[in-house]
Amino acid sequence: MDIEESIKLYQRALELIPGGVNSPVRAFKSVGGNPRFIRKGLGSKIYDVDLNEYIDFIGSWGPHIFGHKPDFIIQAIKEALQNGTSFGAPTEAEVKIAELICELVPSIKMVRLVNSGTEATMSAIRLARGFTKKDKIIKFEGCYHGHSDSFLIKAGSGALTFGIPTSPGVTAGTAADTLTAKFNDIQSVKELIQNNKGQIAAIIIEPVAGNMGVIAGKPDFLKSLREICSEESIVLIFDEVMTGFRLAKGGAQEIYGIEPDLTTLGKIIGGGMPVGAFGGKREIMSLLAPSGPVYQAGTLSGNPIAVSAGLASLEYIKNNPRIYNELEIKSKNFELKIREILNKLGKNLALNRVGSMLCLFFCENEVNSFDDALKSDTQKFSIFFNHLLNNGIYLPPSQFEAIFISTSHSEDELIYTAEKIEEALKLIY
């Protein structure tokens, strides 16, 4: 596979951009080799600057539930562009997308649009502190909530990929206000609350973690979290930046039947454009400026181009609820194909899937927590990744990220991918 142009671009980028990329995992540091510079995407495929074609299982890290460049989203963007790119003033589209989010996610009574998932989680934490008048938060090992200082304590995603569980630049004071519990371990939560009685403003969690691989929150664990937060007057925040509108119309909270106090959203609500949001109970959201004293603002929040893409995405989901059944069937069949391969090879690798999110861990133990995920053999994953990449299959370049399946992936493409997975595993084992 010729990647001459990608190599040239990477060398130019290294001189001007730290690490040659604008988000760390893109650098291929944990898997080796040269990152591919992408020129375009269409349906289930992406094409690099050397015109190599790949079946894409990243989907821009989750937003492309319909694949790349769906007609209805492109049309919505084109129509919005005719009126301008940004106004710094309210638009009708902002009201429409707020109405639709509140309709599709019943726990959200009011919502504030922002520009990224990081901005949404950062703002939700500030709001929870303002509402409770308490300072400390509880997060979970391996859960990634963006790169805000409060969250870079035993974080997942890129921090985990590069072995950086904390980041220089995070102050001791910030770290002291962030308490870390073990995912799927309710006792660790109870101990933190007991040892910090009356000081916890919020508990934030990915109900289905997607940044230490795919790990589902156990139903009893999440139910207990809800009960504890209600008893202790703690704001429960579900970070559904990744899972919102991907796992179900109402996100992971619909699947579990649990209503958080606040929810953070991103990815799909932007239809591939940079949009985030946070929303929840009216009594909490009403504290945001200008209604209340908790300040949050953004010049480009509610950008008309981005909102038009997100609105088209959510309207399609509302009018085509069957897509989740289709995705479940497609994803389950793909999972079964991989399990058949593992059985044939006599390997008991952990394979976790929730809806259209999936991860194969290179370890032979159940993966239900951060510590479990860390037992994965990242060198074996590197061999696996590069074999698939060289055969035209683009996976996340990290053991600790999710594979995303879209409505545009064909049965033939999934069969081909399974065949190449078998080849890669035979090379390794």
Give CA–CA dist 162/23, Å, rounded: 12
Residue linked to tokens 């015109």: 51
In 3D space, the residue among 84, 146, 136 whose CA is nearest the CA of residue 116 turns out to be: 146
Distance separating alpha carbons of residues 133 and 407, to the nearest angstrom: 44
CA 192/CA 163 separation, integer angstroms? 25
Q: In the numeric block, which tokens belong to residue 157?
A: 């995603």
Catalytic residue among 267, 330, 380, 420: 267
144, 256, 324, 394: the active-site residue: 144
Answer yes or no: 429 catalytic: no
16 contacts: CB under 8 Å, gap ≥ 6: none
Active-site annotation holds for 50:
no
Q: Which of 177, 239, 261, 372 is catalytic?
A: 239
Query: Which residue, chain included where needed, has tokens 């997060």?
Result: 139
- 3-class SS string, the chain: CCCHHHHHHHHHHHHHCHHHCCCHHHHCCCCCCCCCCEEEEEECEEEECCCCEEEECCCCCCCCCCCECCHHHHHHHHHHHCCCCCCCCCCHHHHHHHHHHHHHCCCCCEEEEECCHHHHHHHHHHHHHHHHCCCEEEEECCCCCCCCHHHCECCCHHHHHCCCCECCCCCHHHHHCEEEECCCCHHHHHHHHHHCCCCEEEEEECCEECCCCCEECCHHHHHHHHHHHHHHCCEEEEECCCCECCCECCCHHHHHCCCCCEEEECHHHHCCCCCEEEEECHHHHCCECCCCCECCCCCCCCCHHHHHHHHHHHHHHHHCCCHHHHHHHHHHHHHHHHHHHHHHHCCCCEEEEECCEEEEECCCCCCCCHHHHCCCCHHHHHHHHHHHHHCCEECCCCCCCCEECCCCCCHHHHHHHHHHHHHHHHHHC
Known catalytic residue: 144?
yes
The residues annotated as belonging to the active site are: 144, 239, 267
